[in-house]
């Protein structure tokens, strides 16, 4: 029998089996087809590459399903190449079932779910990205204007964001989505994906500002796997880490639960403790998201008061907002 024909028949059997049952595991297919596990996985990989199947779950519980007809077919007709490029580089959405959909496919999926016309929304999205592009210089967004308009005393020398947490109309940005779900899911693989995305920019800041001390803002919400702790493990082992701890009283009050700026300042001032006695030339403070900026600013104030830094204190947020005081409560 012709080998290609044999492969085709096997793939057809897989498709039919899954169509009849809704989903299937690789083990089910091994039993059904009476072929090796390796052969089944090769077939499944080919069918996924051909966009005939999709999979959900993680080993050992992985299920294969028929992939729904892609709404992204005919994109070259709907969008110009320049628009497609912008969407591919910037857009990410997470489906209700937890599937990451990036670029044009994700954009059209989002439009479909929100009852929007893809072509019209693509034009608006392109204009939105273009509107904020001047604020992002050399891959960094300058957050000092926000800090100076929010606080009378600013203790940071500079504040950068890697991206906005969200954009009007379109919601969370690509980086905002990764940050939110990495924290909420406590998924180390997703945290690694986030880290490898932002690491080149962190490396660049460390080099450009001659950073010799890095401090990570401690989490306020208890989780078994903490994003900031994982990022700390992944960052330069040869750079000294500044000891910053979160002290809690009888009741722990997370920053994200506070809606007043004064309350956030008080919370940061009385619960974030810089427990360090080293001497540093230039310090980089890293936070996951800046809503008010109170935590970074108060941490920098403590460093100044303890005379730990001889030079500059640079703040870096993975995501942030340029509004005067924005409550980012999801994360």
Residues 27 and 55 in one domain: yes
The arithmetic mean of pLDDT across residues 134-152, rounded, is: 88
Residues 262 and 162 in one domain: yes
Lowest model confidence (mean pLDDT) among 117-121, 172-176, 243-247, 326-330: 326-330
What's CA 291's distance to the chain center, in Å? Answer: 16
Cis peptide leading into residue 227 (ω within 30°): no
CA distance 331 to 321: 14
Burial label, 301 (beta-carbon count in 10 A; 0-12, 13-18, 19+): buried
Domain interval for residue 8: 3-66
Structure tokens at 33: 């087809």
In a domain, 209, yes or no: yes
- The pLDDT tens digits for 54-90 are 888 878 888 888 887 644 444 444 688 999 999 999 9
Q: Which of 15, 45, 66 is the last residue of a domain?
A: 66
Residues 214 and 282 in one domain: yes
């500059």: which residue's tokens? 312
Work out the pLDDT band at 325, boundaries 50, 70, 90. Answer: low
Residues 255 and 229 in one domain: yes
Count of structural domains, the chain: 3
CA distance 278 to 309: 9
Residues 267 and 120 in one domain: no
CA distance 87 to 140: 19
**pLDDT reading at 277 higher than 50:** yes
Residues 147 and 191 in one domain: yes
**pTM value?**
0.78
Angle at 104 between CA 101 and CA 110, to 5 degrees: 60
In a domain, 302, yes or no: yes
- The pLDDT tens digits for 103-131 are 998 999 999 899 999 999 999 999 999 99
- The pLDDT tens digits for 171-221 are 999 999 999 999 988 988 889 999 999 999 999 999 999 999 999 998 877
Residues 144 and 281 in one domain: yes
């180390």: which residue's tokens? 188
Asked whether 160 and 172 are in contact (CB, 8 A), the reply is no
Residues 167 and 112 in one domain: no
Residues 304 and 156 in one domain: yes
Residues 258 and 166 in one domain: yes
Q: Which of 66, 87, 106 is the last residue of a domain?
A: 66
Angle of helix 37-49 versus helix 26-33 axis, rounded to 10: 120
In a domain, 326, yes or no: no
pLDDT exceeding 70 applies to what percent of the chain?
90
Q: What is the CA radius of gyration of the chain?
A: 24
Residues 96 and 211 in one domain: no
In a domain, 328, yes or no: no
β-strand 283-290 against 240-242: which pairing, if any? Answer: unpaired
Residues 186 and 83 in one domain: no
CA distance 282 to 207: 11
The secondary structure element, H or E, covering residue 298 is: helix 294-305
């Amino acid at each position: 029998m012709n080998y290609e024909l044999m492969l085709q028949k096997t793939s057809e059997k897989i498709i039919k089996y899954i169509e009849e049952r809704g989903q299937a595991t690789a083990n089910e297919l091994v039993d059904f087809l009476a072929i090796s596990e390796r052969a089944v996985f090769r077939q499944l990989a080919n069918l996924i590459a051909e966009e005939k199947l999709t999979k959900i779950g993680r080993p050992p519980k992985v299920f294969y399903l028929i992939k729904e007809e892609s709404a992204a077919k005919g994109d070259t007709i709907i969008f110009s190449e320049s628009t497609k490029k912008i969407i591919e580089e910037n857009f990410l959405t997470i489906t209700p079932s937890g599937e990451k959909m990036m670029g044009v496919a994700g954009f059209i999926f989002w439009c479909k779910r929100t009852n929007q016309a893809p072509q019209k929304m693509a034009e608006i999205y392109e204009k939105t990205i273009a509107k904020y592009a001047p604020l992002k210089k050399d891959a960094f967004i300058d957050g000092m204007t926000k800090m100076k308009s929010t606080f009378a005393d600013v203790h940071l020398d500079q504040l950068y964001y890697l991206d906005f947490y969200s954009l009007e109309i379109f919601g969370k940005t690509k980086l905002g989505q990764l940050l939110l779900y990495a924290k909420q899911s406590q998924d180390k693989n997703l945290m690694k994906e986030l880290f490898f995305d932002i690491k080149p920019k962190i490396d660049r800041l460390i080099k450009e500002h001659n950073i010799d001390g890095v401090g990570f803002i401690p989490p306020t919400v208890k989780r078994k796997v903490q994003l900031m702790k994982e990022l700390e493990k992944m960052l330069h082992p040869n750079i000294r880490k500044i000891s910053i701890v979160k002290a809690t009283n009888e009741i722990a009050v997370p920053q994200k639960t506070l809606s007043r700026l004064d309350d956030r300042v008080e919370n940061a001032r009385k619960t974030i403790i810089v427990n360090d006695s080293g001497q540093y030339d230039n310090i980089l403070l890293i936070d996951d998201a800046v809503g008010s900026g109170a935590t970074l600013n108060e941490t920098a104030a403590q460093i100044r008061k303890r005379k730990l830094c001889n030079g500059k204190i640079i703040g870096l947020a993975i995501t942030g907002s340029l509004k005067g005081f924005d409550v980012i409560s999801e994360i």
